Amino acid sequence: MLALLSFMKSKKWVNRQKNDQFVKKAKQLGYVNRAAFKLEEIEQKFKIIENSKEILELGSSPGGWTQVILNNNTNPKITCFDLLDMKINNQDIIFYKEDFLKYNFNNIKIKFDLVLSDVAPNTTGHQSTDHLRISQLIYEVINRLEITLKNQGSFIFKIWKGEEEKEIIKILKKIFDKVEYFKPKSSRQESSEIFIISRGFKLHEE
C-alpha cells in the first residue's frame, strides 16, 4: 500500500512538472530549476541584488538563485552553502558543500550585503511539523546575522506559513528597518510558501 501511494505521488509530481509553465520556461532560458523565477520576481520588485556586492546564499543547490544573482549583478561575490552539489560553476562563486549549521562563520573574514536563504528540511507531508522544522532553520539563520550581515544589509528567505511565522516577523521587525511579505506568481498558489524581505539591518555595535 505504501509503495502504491509513493508511486501515485511520484506520478502526480511528474505530471505536474510536465505541465508547469515555469518548468518549461526554465528549460528554455537555461535555468537549472523553476525556483529561479521566484528570486527573479523578488529582484524585479525590490532591486536588492543589483546593489549587493557580497552575497551569502544558504541552500544554494542546484543553483537557480545563483544564476539570477549573476544575471542581475555585474560583479558579485557569492558564497554558497548546500549539502548537495551545484549544477553551475563560476569564478564569482565560493561553494561550501557542508551544513551551514555546523560552520563557524567567523572563519569568513567579510560581512555580506545580502543573506539569501532557500533552505528547507525534507518534508514529512504533515504541514505543521514541516512548518516548525523550516522555522527552526530560519531561527538558526537569524542567530547568525550578527556575524554574517553588514549594517543596513538585507535578508531574504523562504518559509511555509504557520504559527511560528508571526514570532519570526516580530523578531525581524526589531532588527530591521523594513520587513515585508512577498508571494511570487511563480510560487504555486496551493503552496503555503511565502518569502520575507527584510531590509536595513541594525547591526549591534559593541
Just list the catalytic residues: 158
Cell of 136: 527552526
With beta carbons less than 8 A apart as the criterion, state whether 38 and 157 touch: no
- Distance between CA atoms of 191 and 106, rounded to whole angstroms? 36
- Distance between CA atoms of 54 and 168, rounded to whole angstroms? 25
- Distance between CA atoms of 143 and 105, rounded to whole angstroms? 11
Backbone φ and ψ for 46, nearest 5 degrees, come out as -105, -20
Cell of 133: 522544522
Largest CA distance in the chain: 59
- Distance between CA atoms of 49 and 157, rounded to whole angstroms? 14
Nearest Cα residue to 116 out of 93, 136, 95, 138: 138
- Distance between CA atoms of 184 and 175, rounded to whole angstroms? 25
3-state helix, strand, coil split of the chain in percent (to 5) is 45, 25, 35
Residue bearing cell 551569502: 56
